[in-house]
Protein backbone atom coordinates (compact mmCIF):
# COMPACT_ATOMS: atom_id res chain seq x y z
CA UNK A 1 0.00 0.00 0.00
CA UNK A 2 1.35 3.42 -0.91
CA UNK A 3 -1.54 5.84 -0.76
CA UNK A 4 0.61 8.61 0.66
CA UNK A 5 -1.18 11.48 2.30
CA UNK A 6 -4.38 9.67 3.23
CA UNK A 7 -3.07 7.57 6.05
CA UNK A 8 -5.37 7.59 9.05
CA UNK A 9 -3.73 8.38 12.33
CA UNK A 10 -5.41 6.19 14.92
CA UNK A 11 -3.63 8.04 17.66
CA UNK A 12 -5.21 11.37 16.82
CA UNK A 13 -8.48 12.58 18.25
CA UNK A 14 -11.06 12.46 15.46
CA UNK A 15 -13.55 15.20 16.47
CA UNK A 16 -10.84 17.86 16.64
CA UNK A 17 -8.58 16.16 14.10
CA UNK A 18 -5.68 16.26 16.48
CA UNK A 19 -5.78 19.99 17.05
CA UNK A 20 -7.20 19.78 20.57
CA UNK A 21 -9.60 22.58 19.76
CA UNK A 22 -13.18 22.68 18.52
CA UNK A 23 -15.40 25.52 17.42
CA UNK A 24 -18.50 25.66 19.60
CA UNK A 25 -21.54 27.59 18.44
CA UNK A 26 -23.16 27.49 21.85
CA UNK A 27 -24.21 30.89 23.10
CA UNK A 28 -24.73 32.22 19.59
CA UNK A 29 -21.14 33.20 18.83
CA UNK A 30 -18.79 30.53 17.52
CA UNK A 31 -15.78 30.29 19.75
CA UNK A 32 -12.83 27.99 20.23
CA UNK A 33 -13.04 25.50 23.06
CA UNK A 34 -10.83 22.68 24.28
CA UNK A 35 -11.94 19.42 22.73
CA UNK A 36 -13.87 17.42 25.35
CA UNK A 37 -12.85 14.14 23.76
CA UNK A 38 -9.13 14.63 24.20
CA UNK A 39 -9.12 17.45 26.75
CA UNK A 40 -7.11 19.57 24.36
CA UNK A 41 -4.14 17.33 23.81
CA UNK A 42 -5.25 16.15 20.38
CA UNK A 43 -4.78 12.47 21.16
CA UNK A 44 -7.40 9.77 21.10
CA UNK A 45 -8.31 8.49 24.55
CA UNK A 46 -10.06 5.12 24.40
CA UNK A 47 -12.92 4.95 26.86
CA UNK A 48 -13.10 8.64 27.57
CA UNK A 49 -16.58 10.03 28.10
CA UNK A 50 -16.81 13.36 26.33
CA UNK A 51 -20.00 14.22 28.19
CA UNK A 52 -18.30 14.36 31.55
CA UNK A 53 -14.63 14.54 30.68
CA UNK A 54 -14.05 11.61 32.96
CA UNK A 55 -12.40 8.33 32.21
CA UNK A 56 -14.97 5.58 32.13
CA UNK A 57 -14.41 3.12 34.91
CA UNK A 58 -14.63 -0.29 33.31
CA UNK A 59 -13.57 -2.38 36.25
CA UNK A 60 -14.03 -1.88 39.94
CA UNK A 61 -12.23 -4.97 41.06
CA UNK A 62 -10.41 -5.22 44.36
Q: Give me the least distance between CB of 38 and Zn ion, in Å please.
A: 3
**Residue 44 · residue 14 · CB < 8 Å:** yes
Residue 4 or 14: the one with the smaller Cβ distance to Zn ion is: 14
Beta bridge partners, 54, equal 49
Q: Going residue by residue from 6 to 25, which x/- string records binding to Zn ion, judged by CB under 5 A?
A: -------x--x---------
As a whole number of angstroms, the distance between CA 13 and CA 23 comes to: 15
Under rule CB under 5 A, residue 38 binds Zn ion: yes
- How many residues bind Zn ion, per CB under 5 A? 5
Amino acid sequence: MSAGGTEYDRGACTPCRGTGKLISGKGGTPHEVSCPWCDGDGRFHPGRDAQTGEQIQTAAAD
